[in-house]
Amino acid sequence: MTGPERAIRLIRAGFPEPPARDTAVSNAILRRVSEGLEPETLRLHRPGDIVAFGPKDRLAPGYGRAIREAAELGFGSVQRLAGGRAAVFTDRTIAFSWAVPDLSPRPGIRARFEEVAAIMAGAFRNLGVDARVGEVPGEYCPGEHSVNARGRTKLMGVGQRLLQRAAHVGGVIVVGGTGRVRDVLIPVYRALGLTWDPATTGSLEDEVPGLTWDRALQAVVDAFAARYRLEESKLPAETLDLANSLEAGHAAEA
């Protein structure tokens, strides 16, 4: 179901400190949506400076060193809710998490990836970016549903996590600060033994000089609002309580 008959709760609240809090909040929302305790929820917020590591990263011999390298550059480390390799969030990125109720979430994996990529690419084009869906050769945290600029630099990455009756589609949009993202990825990926091309790092601001974080956020909100009826709300106390209990499980330690 799409269009105004499908309502999605919009949450703008971010919880950047401590580093694992934001991931725990997304996990709590996903669990409560899966249990039918909360409605479909889209959260868009400004995160803190973190490197989010995936399950494969945690198996790498250099995982501890990667965490230490990130810390030396002022980044906290967390364990990702969704799969994929190490991704970077800063206060010049937009973090998004979309918790979608689905009694059988596995068959819809590709459709959800395609939809969120199309929404984000459309939002970026409305800002004046030559945005395209697809993996850039050599990009960090590669994925076929990444969104790039001109087929050359990565702007957005996305991953999914499934529960019994819901799916989480989440990721990061780099609005600005390309150099800071690249500079932390270089030592972190070296420690993890991953090969990538630093030249694939990009941002919306690189494509649209002077673009503000707020304008980029509004473009994303407008792109979702063109498809669904967004209803702004706050998180219930029960969700935050659950997030507090999940937080330790998302902390990454060297």
Q: Which of 68, 24, 15 is nearest to 45 (CA)?
A: 15
First CA to last CA distance, the chain: 44
Q: CB atoms < 10 A from the CB of 14, how many? A: 18
At residue 254, the pLDDT reads 83
Cβ atoms of residues 88 and 53 within 8 Å: no
**For the residues 178-185, what does the mean pLDDT come to?**
98
Q: In the prediction, which pLDDT does 1 show?
A: 54
Q: Is the peptide bond before 18 cis (omega within 30 degrees of 0)?
A: yes
- Rounded CA gap, 173 and 218, in Å? 13
Q: What is the mean pLDDT of the chain?
A: 97
Mean pLDDT of 163-179: 98
Residues 6+ apart with CB under 8 A from 179: none
Grouping H, G, I as helix, E, B as strand and the rest as coil, residue 226 is coil
**What's the CATH number for 3-250?**
3.30.930.10
Contact 147, 131 (CB under 8 A): yes
| Model pLDDT for residues 143-161, shown as the tens digit of each residue | 999 999 999 999 999 999 9
187-239 pLDDT, tens per residue?
999 999 999 999 999 999 999 999 999 999 999 999 999 999 999 999 999 99
Per-residue pLDDT, 4 = 67
Above 80 in pLDDT, residue 3?
A: no
**pLDDT tens string 16-75:** 999 999 999 999 999 999 999 999 999 999 999 999 999 999 999 999 999 999 999 999
Give residue limits of the domains in the chain: 3-250
What is the pLDDT, as a whole number, of residue 5? 82
What pLDDT is stored for residue 223 in this prediction?
98
